[in-house]
Amino acid sequence: MNCKHLVLLSVIGCLATAGCYDGKRLVEAARNQAIRTRLDEVDLGEYRTTLPRYDADSSAMEIVVELYGTAIRYKIPDVEKTIEQDDYRLRQAVIIALRRTTAAEIADPHLTTFRERLLTVVNAELGETPIESLGFRTVRFIPL
């Protein structure tokens, strides 16, 4: 065989294997990525406080919320550890945020602004282990 034949065989060999891939490795990589980015719930606790009266005509109102957050699955142990270590700070920050609730936030049927504000407060307290989203298991506004 001469040099031209070797080059031609090399080119044909490269072209024949150009589209080959390892299907098992691709499936495994996709599965690992899906597991790594999967969100799970983290319990943030139940909070109860009385809202301040804004004027003489307004009646007192109690607010009760049970919160949960979603975090990437592999970060959940870190989030839970942070919550356990700084529980008192988180509780205080959330209660202060609850006491700042406005009538407009209560009037929103989806509580979007209320939820976003609480998410910001919770993530500020969690620091390096933030949650992705915040949800309510229960929300009650009770006139007193």
Regions of the chain with pLDDT less than 50? none
Q: Is 141:106 a contact under the CB 8 Å cutoff?
A: yes
**Domain encompassing residue 65:** 39-143
Does any domain span residue 12? Answer: no
Does any domain span residue 84? Answer: yes
Q: Render pLDDT for 101-129 as a digit per residue (tens, 0 to 9).
A: 988 898 899 999 999 999 999 999 998 88
Helices (H) and strands (E) in the chain, counts: 6, 3
Does any domain span residue 8? Answer: no
CA–CA separation, 117 and 57 (whole Å): 27
Q: How much is the pLDDT for 41? A: 93
CA–CA separation, 39 and 94 (whole Å): 23
Does any domain span residue 14? Answer: no
Does any domain span residue 54? Answer: yes
User: Residue 98 belongs to a domain with what CATH number?
Assistant: 3.30.479
Number of domains within the chain: 1
Q: How much is the pLDDT for 20? A: 64
In order of 39, 44, 62, 67, the CA distances from 84 in angstroms are: 20, 10, 26, 15
Does any domain span residue 6? Answer: no
Does any domain span residue 100? Answer: yes
